Amino acid sequence: MNRHEIEDLIRQDLASKLNPHRGRAREAFDHMVLEPMNKRVGQDQANAYRIRNAILIGLLMIVCVLIGMWIPRLFPDPVPEQTDPIHQPDAMVESVTIPEHPERTSLLHMVDTGPARTDSGAPARRIREERLDRYQWIDPQTGGTFTYIEPSVRERIVEAHQQ
Amino acid sequence: MELSVEELVSRARLHDADAFAELIQRFEGVALAVAYAQTRNAADAGDIVQEAFLRAWQRLDSLDDPSRFAHWISRMVRNLSIDLRRRRKALPLDESFDPPDSMPQTTSLERDEQKKQVERAINGLDDLSRECVTLRYYENMSSKQIADLLGITPAAVDMRLSRARNQLKDRLQKFVGEV
């Protein structure tokens, strides 16, 4: 048996034993490292896709708003035909001098609305006063008559007198 | 264009899985040869190589010189093999540990016996000589390449290979004589 025959025998022996195990390391690496990485990449891509869609939708909304703002400028409403302004008389503003002592007429209506107590706890009645003050005067310059009526309501407690 | 080992290691360090897969492709044979030389069991060698490359992927940053990747992975394989041997106590030196179904079923008894003689002759060598044999005859590495990987001289590699061949020749001649 010469050297080459011996070497062939060794080669065949080693190849028959070790070749079936070739590729296992790669498979294990793919399984342990590449697949999780690809999965992660897939998730990252899905997230990136969602973010991109959100950005696109946002941009689309902004564009819609801008278009909405620009359209009235691009197509303005027809300007109404210019006409001369209608001259309306200025509001009547005249100074009225109220005399120092106008004629005053007062109507007083008092209503007893029920029992009450004074601050000191004494028995009293609650009285509602409905008052109507009417002021009237004549402007000496124009001879016009001015009337001013001022209604007022107030309540007061009136101590009841012992009988 | 084929990338250099240094480039592949640099890329793999940046988590380029394809670059590392290429490193596995290139050095799996060397790793298997070293693992088989240490364990004398092909299935164990496959397990160890698998484990070694997964560890290498995780520890690539600890590799000082990227051009020495083969040396680094071989050392890792050797250490893992030694761990396995320690766990299983001492392995008998002249027995095959491969399961019977790893042997071809269709070969004749004579060829089966011849294969066993080859296997026993290889298993009968010391660890370093066995590594020389597996690297030369499984990976077709030159004496210089083997010497670089094992940290011995090319002459020492040649001497160990020659001794291994003679040992196998003796075994086979005895076997032929018996037949």
Alpha carbons A42 and A48: distance in angstroms, whole number = 10
Spatial distance between the Cα atoms of B41 and B31, rounded to a whole number of angstroms: 13
Given the cut 0.90, state whether the ipTM is greater than it: no
Beta-carbon neighbour count of residue A132 at 10 Å? 14
Distance in angstroms (rounded) separating the CA atoms of residues B175 and B55? 43
d(C-alpha A21, C-alpha B39), whole Å: 14
Domain spans of chain B?
Answer: 1-91, 104-179
Query: CA-nearest residue of chain B to A33?
Result: B17
Q: Choose among B124, B123, B161, B101: nearest CA to A14.
A: B123
pLDDT at residue B16 greater than cutoff 50: yes
The whole-number average pLDDT for the span B91-109 is 50
Could you tell me the two tokens for B148? 């670089």
Residues in chain A, how many? 163
Contact present, B10 and B66 (Cβ < 8 Å): yes
User: Cβ separation of B54 and A17 shorter than 8 Å?
Assistant: no
Fold held by B104-179? Arc Repressor Mutant, subunit A (1.10.10)
pLDDT band (50, 70, 90) for residue A59: very high
- Give kind and range of the element (H or E) at residue B32: helix B17-39
Chain A residues in contact with B53 by the CB 8 A cut-off are 25, 28-29
Whole-number Å distance between alpha carbons of A31 and A153:
94
**pLDDT band, very low/low/confident/very high, at B177 (cuts 50, 70, 90):** low
Compute φ and ψ for B44, nearest 5 degrees.
Answer: -65, -40
User: Is residue A77 very low, low, confident or very high in pLDDT (cuts 50, 70, 90)?
Assistant: low
d(CA B79, CA B81): 5
Per-residue tokens: B142:
């030159």
Q: Is B79 exposed, middle or buried (0-12, 13-18, 19+ CB in 10 A)?
A: middle
Among B2-11, B66-75, B150-159, B163-172, which stretch is predicted with the lowest mean pLDDT? Answer: B163-172
Chain A residues touching residue B98 (CB < 8 angstroms): 17
Cα distance between residue A68 and residue A61, in whole Å: 10
Ranges of each domain in chain A: 6-60, 103-159
* Number of other residues whose CB lies within 10 A of the CB of residue A133: 14
The confidence score (pLDDT) of residue A48 equals 84
Chain B residues within an 8 Å CB radius of A29: 17, 20-21, 24, 53-54, 57
Do the two domains B1-91 and B104-179 of this chain adopt the same fold? no
Sign of CA dihedral B40, B41, B46, B49: negative
| Residue A87, SS3 per DSSP | coil
Fold classified for B1-91 = Rna Polymerase Sigma Factor; Chain: A (1.10.1740)
